[in-house]
Structure 1
Amino acid sequence: MSEAIKNRYDFVILFDVENGNPNGDPDAGNMPRVDQETGHGLVTDVCLKRKIRNYIEAIKEGVPGYRIYIKDDVPLAHHDQEACAHFGIEDIKKIKKDNPEIDKKIRDFMCSNFFDIRTFGAVMTTFVQGALNCGQVRGPVQLGFARSIDPILPQEITITRTAITTVQAAQAQKTTMGRKFIVPYALYKVEGYVSANLARKVTGFSEEDLELLWRAILSMFELDHSAARGNMATRELIVFRHESELGNAPAYRLFDRVHVSKKRKETPARSYQDYEVHVDTENLPEGVSCMRMS
């Protein structure tokens, strides 16, 4: 693996949705997630990580070291067994007695082969059940929940369905009614963190991985278009780079420098141009620099 990153990073992602459902809530009939107290829209960290994983898998298909551990319809134990086969492990519960260093070897094997373990970490149940310390890997990259800048008002759209499933249904009726939830427009903000300390000590997350992560964040919606999600796009990625491994300033002080406001408060926003984004780069803490990507 390449050398691990040496600098801490804190970042802000701005992305938007137009006439789509950015993240359905299964507890609410798949309507867009909403903070019930404030009315602001929410998108989970799991949803965003899934899009990043899918993008990496698509552009790095077949490239060693960039496989994806958490995939749809693929049991995690299937990947875990690859490590067992690589090290000739027959009894996972007894191997620690014969090989005290097996924890680190398995962890390094999984991190070197799977990009998402190297990035986000993972819980590998096979090794947890085998009482191996490598079963839980804490990744250096973490995301919070995305929250819309303004409250959202999801709309329920009724649609007609002309595709009839069965012969009996076709004889009874020609069309059926359906529904879909959309957000007419919303701009979301999410904050993230990259720990150089965890990259060095645990997963080996490298500069090449970091550049690929930035690329994935900027393009994660480009390979994820669907009728349900409408038009979604990453509008800007704002990155604060620390000169040191542990950081030169608290993350919240840097995030407070990102200001997003609506140009005309009296009318609903319907495009990214209805907002103004300002990043206060004056008198940044010593050892911190800022770059903006779009």
Structure 2
Amino acid sequence: MSEVIKNRYDFVVLFDVENGNPNGDPDSGNMPRVDAETQLGLITDVCIKRKIRNYVEMVKDDSTGYRIYIKSHAVLNKNDEEAYAALGVSVDKVAEQKKKDTDIDLKIRDWMCANFYDIRAFGAVMTTFTKAKLNCGQVRGPVQIGFAKSVEPVVPQEITITRVAITTEKDAENKNNEMGSKYIVPYGLYRCEGFVSANLARKTTGFTEDDLNLLWDAIYNMFENDHSAARGKMAVRKLIIFKHDSELGNAPSHKLFDLVSVSRKDADTSAPARSYEDYEISVKDDQIPNGVSIIIRD
């Protein structure tokens, strides 16, 4: 692998959804998440990280150092047991072994970081409260992502759908089709902000330059191989990366984020936006602080 990253990064991602449900809320019948007070659409950090994990898993195909810890149908205890087995640590006698080797906990944690990309990036709580009492530690990852929020309020709509196939023979005697429904957002442009800490990468997980480049690719392409009828048409429109010259950074994150603004091209906003072309994205690159450079992918 390449060397551990040495620069702090902050980034802004702009993506949109058309006629789809970007992140259903199980507490509200799976309708698109919204802020109850502002009606701005919301997408959780967990949802976005799921897309990134799926992309890495697809591209790397469980190659050495790029496995995914949190994935569909994964049994976490089995992954934890691998670390113990690889280091020759007995689950039943780990307390005795720690007396001889006080660094066992760190070795187990480092093994997990080295083998699982998402632990190296996002961190993880690797303690399971089972009879096995497996404990691979807790890791705070260098890559942190906030909730995505729509630029303008969204109006979730319930669409009634029909199916000509009938579920049972008994139902077929009384009806010719089945009724159902799905929720959509007609259009929404969402903004998400994130952070990459070189300090945590160096001290804890060993997140490398290769890992970082893979992260940018995963964010930029996270919807390209994740299409479904439920999510409609989703696409990343712009990825704006602020690179600091130092490990701890040269400017506060919020001041860099304030340099990115999204506005409607038409001053009359009474009509709802229905396209990315309805918006104008501006970056005040002439106000970027010393020690910070900008990279834009669109």
Q: TM tier, shorter chain?
A: over 0.9
Q: Which runs of 5+ in 1 are unaligned?
A: none
Q: Does the aligned pair in 2 maintain the 1:93–1:131 contact within 8 Å? A: no
Q: Which amino acid aligns with 1:287?
A: G
1:2 alignment counterpart: 2
Given that 1:127 and 1:135 are in contact with CA atoms closer than 8 Å, whether structure 2 keeps it comes out as no
Cα deviation code 1:90-110 (max 9, x no counterpart) = 224443223211112111111
Partner of 1:15: 15
Q: Which residue of 2 aligns with 1:56?
A: 56
**Cα offset for 1:55?**
0.6
Where 1:220 maps in the other structure, the secondary structure is coil
Go from structure 1 to structure 2 and tell me whether the alpha carbon gap of 1:191 and 1:99 turns closer, same or farther (over 3 Å shift). Answer: same
State the match for 1:107 in structure 2.
Answer: 109
Secondary structure of the corresponding residue to residue 165 of structure 2: coil
- Note the C-alpha offset of 1:163: 2.6
* Number of the residue aligned with 2:286: 282
Q: Matched residues in 2 for 1:96 and 1:172: separation?
A: 69
Q: Which amino acid aligns with 1:167?
A: E
Which of these residues, 194, 208, 226, is aligned with residue 192 of structure 1? 194
The residue type paired with residue 172 of structure 2 is A
- Deviation per residue, 1:71-126 (Å, 9 max, x gap): 11111111001001111222244432232111121111111111000000011124
Q: Which residue of 1 aligns with 2:203?
A: 201
Question: What's the TM-score once normalised by structure 2's chain length?
Answer: 0.95
Give the 5 Å matches for 1:114-125: 114-125=116-127
**C-alpha distance in 2 between matches for 1:182 and 1:126:** 37
Letter of the structure 2 residue corresponding to residue 198 of structure 1:
L
Q: SS of the counterpart of 2:199?
A: helix
Q: Distance in 1 between matches of 2:272 and 2:7?
A: 40
Identify the residue that residue 70 of structure 2 maps to in structure 1.
70
Change (3 A) 1:18 1:165: same
Per the normalisation by structure 1, the TM-score is 0.96
Query: How many angstroms apart in 2 are the aligned matches of 1:172 and 1:162?
Result: 13
How far did 1:240 drift?
0.4
Give the aligned partner of residue 251 of structure 2. Answer: 249
Distance in 1 between residues matched to 2:96 and 2:167, nearest whole Å: 54
8 Å Cα contact 1:126/1:135 also seen in 2: no
Asked whether 1:139 is paired with 2:167, we answer no
- Whether the aligned pair in 2 keeps the contact of 1:147 and 1:189 (CA below 8 Å) is yes
CA 1:289–1:127: 2 relative to 1, 3 Å: farther
Q: How does 1:138-157 map to 2 (within 5 A)?
A: 138-157=140-159
What CA distance in whole angstroms lies between the structure 1 residues aligned with 2:126 and 2:97? 16
Q: Does the aligned pair in 2 maintain the 1:65–1:115 contact within 8 Å?
A: yes
Aligned to 1:272: 276
Structure 1 match to 2:81: 81
SS at match of 1:135: strand
Cα deviation code 1:14-71 (max 9, x no counterpart): 0000000000000000000000000100000000000000010001114211110001
RMSD: 1.6
Alpha carbons 1:2, 1:204 under 8 Å: kept: no
1:229-256 C-alpha deviation (Å, 9 max, x unpaired): 0000110000000000000010000000
Q: Which runs of 4+ in 1 moved over 4 A?
A: 127-132
State the identity as a percent: 64
1:271 alignment partner AA? S
CA distance in 2, matches of 1:153, 1:93: 56
